[in-house]
Amino acid sequence: MAATGAIMILFLVSHMAGNAKLFLGRDSFNEYAEALRTLAEPLLPYRALLTATEAVLLAAVGLHIWAAVSLARRAAKARPVKYVAKKSQANGYVTHIMRWGGLTLVLFIVWHLLDLTFGVVNPKGFDATPADRMIAGFDPSRWWVTIFYVVAVVLVGLHLRHGVWSAFQTLGLAKGSRYKALNALSVVLAAVLVVGFLAPPLAITFGVIK
């Protein structure tokens, strides 16, 4: 669970940094997108490294879901009789966030690929440049897409915050003097990613980027 989560966090950080290039202009964003596809050329074929990265990411997502289901089943078998005392609202909240946040992430990935990668549901289509697809995807007329994106990213942020903190605890790092620091780190990391991913689409929706 922690290992696959770490892989996805690394991807999210790099993806967020790439998205931020849209603030430098369409050409900068398009050049970044093209660079991803031509990495290691001519040693490797066009898009080979990017395709391999996508395969690793897809495997990580699949294994992460499998780990979540396996751990939930193991926990249920370990405690077949329910506790007499009810769970706290905080624990219930975390459980719902992790479950629905994960489901929302899966649905969002599917939509994100259809919209901005393959152009199937994007107004500009597949033949448009990455920047044009991005800007068209979050056009003010498609406000509902932006709302879905905001909700998905916030849920992912909450999922990420708890996941990172849980990983620190699982690895035995969150103890002693490091407890507060690592807890704060998990909050800051999640907040930075949420703000970083929301900045470009909101800038497009509100007309800052055209």
* Close Cβ partners of 25 (under 8 Å, ≥ 6 residues apart): none
Low-confidence residues of the chain: pLDDT under 70: 79-102, 174
Residue 90 has a pLDDT of: 47
Report yes or no on 45 lying in a domain. yes
* Structure tokens, 209: 């980027």
CA proximity to 198, closest of 160, 154, 159: 154
- Residue range(s) defining the domain that contains residue 172: 2-205
Identity (one letter) of the amino acid at 193? L
Contacts for 180-186 with beta carbons within 8 Å, 24 or more apart? 186/161, 186/162
In CATH, what number is assigned to the domain containing residue 86?
1.20.1300.10
Total residues found in the chain within this entry: 210
Say if CB 186 and CB 161 are below 8 A apart: yes
Report yes or no on 162 lying in a domain. yes
Calculate helix-pair angle for 26-37, 130-137, nearest 10 degrees: 120
Residue 101 has a pLDDT of: 63
Report yes or no on 210 lying in a domain. no
Residue 199 has a pLDDT of: 97
Report yes or no on 175 lying in a domain. yes
Say if CB 40 and CB 49 are below 8 A apart: yes
Give CA–CA dist 32/48, Å, rounded.
16
Q: How many domains does the chain have?
A: 1
* Structure tokens, 184: 């704060």
* pLDDT tens digits for range 144-167: 999 999 988 998 888 888 888 877
Q: How far is CA 188 from the centre of its chain?
A: 15
Give CA–CA dist 183/45, Å, rounded.
43
Residue 176 has a pLDDT of: 73
* Close Cβ partners of 49 (under 8 Å, ≥ 6 residues apart): 39, 40
Give CA–CA dist 12/61, Å, rounded.
12
Residue 141 has a pLDDT of: 94
Report yes or no on 154 lying in a domain. yes
CA proximity to 134, closest of 13, 21, 38: 21
Give CA–CA dist 205/141, Å, rounded.
8
Report yes or no on 28 lying in a domain. yes
Report yes or no on 83 lying in a domain. yes
Report yes or no on 25 lying in a domain. yes
